[in-house]
């Protein structure tokens, strides 16, 4: 499978092409405001991953512990908070 990359700057689905395996996520603040990211399997699912970063802090990256990644069966849904923050996803 080909890997896909997507950057998001607002809450919503990253992809609904399922099944999908999440491999990495990077959360980057705008340099002033703190940011947080909650990743769920679909908008109504429970949190699978939460990242937080201080506004003046560096980006924070999460990587799956297995080469396959983490399976999502409904959608990869991102809830992003923090003005100017972006989250980058790698999945296939």
Q: What confidence category does residue 75 fall into, taking pLDDT thresholds of 50, 70 and 90? A: very high
Residue 75: domain span? 4-91
pLDDT in tens, 28-66: 999 999 999 999 999 999 999 999 999 888 999 999 998
For residue 45, the domain's CATH number is: 2.60.120
Question: Terminal CA-to-CA distance of the chain, rounded, Å?
Answer: 6
Q: Is 59 helix (H, G, I), strand (E, B) or coil?
A: coil
13/34 Cα distance (integer angstroms): 22
Total domains in the fold of the chain: 1
| Best CA proximity match to 28, nearest among 78, 87, 89, 79 | 87
């Amino acid at each position: 499978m080909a890997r896909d990359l997507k950057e998001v700057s607002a809450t919503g689905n990253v992809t609904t092409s399922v099944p999908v395996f999440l491999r990495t996520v990077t959360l980057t603040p705008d340099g002033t405001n703190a940011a947080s990211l909650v990743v769920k399997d679909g908008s109504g699912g429970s949190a699978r991953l939460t990242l937080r970063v201080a506004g003046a802090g560096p980006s924070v990256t999460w990587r799956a512990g297995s080469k396959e990644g983490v399976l999502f069966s409904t959608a990869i849904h991102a809830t992003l908070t923090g003005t100017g923050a972006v989250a980058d996803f790698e999945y296939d």
